[in-house]
Amino acid sequence: MEVITRVADLRNRLDKESSVGFVPTMGALHNGHKALIDRARAENRVVVVSIFVNPTQFLEGEDFSKYPRTFDKDREVCRLSGVDYIFLPDVDEVYFSDELSILAPKERGFTLEGFHRIGHFNGMLQIVLKLLNIVQPQNAYFGKKDAQQLALIQQMVKELFLRVNIVPVDIIRDRDGLALSSRNRYLSHSERDRALAIPKSLEIGSKLIMSGERSTSVIINRMLNALQELDIDYVEIVRRDFQNIESVEIGNSIILVAVRVGNTRLIDNMFV
């Protein structure tokens, strides 16, 4: 395994490769990331993991400066998972002064996460487009954990005619149901206990659906009840294209939750 910091060096290594799997991350790797890496390892000859805490997708006042940076441990996770290249660029390697920018779609890019974190998806799409162009993988792996991010990346790939196959990977959870996230490490013990209301609320939602309930407002209200101890940003049920729906479409809907537990913002979802 090689750690590469320069775009030109990575391109040299990958120039003649026709089976490259790519996993973009912000590091602080956990088993959610590992699921993406394992899938990439199984499906490609060469596996590239990028580790880059992208400044442009953090808003003023968010956790950019204190975001966990655990490179030594991340390198070990990658090595043990059979990664070929870690791409670890500096900000100056990938960003330019007065550069052009890409904008998230006006509607789907500015609801839910895009509404609560205005501009976040512009920065996210900007870096993902850059990374996809640098690595030029055949397959790129993204977690369903960030469902709206995944949908916007799929939209970008389609509408900008990018030549890459986007592979969605299921959410990995802790044994108690909490979705793994690099931000979970900000939680105190008691905050973590309270955060378990998130997967519980999703379970309540999915059980209601399984028992025949289809009204999104009825389901959302029951979920809001289960989350009332937390500071809720939103609970929503949307179609997989992120259009609003009044009635759940089985096999084509997503239940989404975003809350704050203390100072930590957590998101989770369930595809139904």
Exactly one of 182, 184, 201, 216 binds ligand AMP (CB under 6 A); that residue is: 182
Exactly one of 104, 178, 180, 226 binds ligand AMP (CB under 6 A); that residue is: 180
Angstrom distances, CA of residue 261 to CA of 12, 16, 203, 216: 45, 47, 19, 24
145 sits near ligand AMP (criterion: CB under 6 A): yes
Tokens linked to 44: 């490609």
172 sits near ligand AMP (criterion: CB under 6 A): yes
Segment near ligand AMP (CB under 6 A); pick from 84-92, 168-176, 240-248, 254-262? 168-176
- Tell me the closest approach of the beta carbon of residue 14 to ligand AMP, in angstroms: 20
Question: Parallel, antiparallel, or unpaired for β 264-271 and 253-261?
Answer: antiparallel
171 sits near ligand AMP (criterion: CB under 6 A): yes
CB 116 within 8 A of CB 234: yes
Segment near ligand AMP (CB under 6 A); pick from 58-66, 93-101, 126-134, 172-180? 172-180
Exactly one of 89, 109, 123, 143 binds ligand AMP (CB under 6 A); that residue is: 143
Residues with active-site annotation: 33
Segment near ligand AMP (CB under 6 A); pick from 71-79, 97-105, 164-172, 258-266? 164-172
Directed axis angle between helix 71-80 and helix 31-43, to 10°?
40
Q: Is 215 helix (H, G, I), strand (E, B) or coil?
A: strand
Interaction residues for ligand AMP, span 187-246 (CB under 6 A):
none
25 sits near ligand AMP (criterion: CB under 6 A): yes
Q: Which CB sits closer to ligand AMP, 151 or 230?
A: 151
Interaction residues for ligand AMP, span 33-92 (CB under 6 A):
33, 35-36
Nearest to 23, CA basis, from 6, 48, 42, 4: 48
Nearest to 1, CA basis, from 71, 90, 82, 74: 82
CB 133 within 8 A of CB 164: no
Exactly one of 131, 179, 226, 248 binds ligand AMP (CB under 6 A); that residue is: 179
What residues contact residue 106 under an 8 Å CB cut-off, 6+ apart? none
Our separate counts of H helices and E strands in the chain read 10, 9
Binding residues vs ligand AMP (CB under 6 A) = 25-26, 32-33, 35-36, 142-143, 145-146, 169, 171-172, 179-182
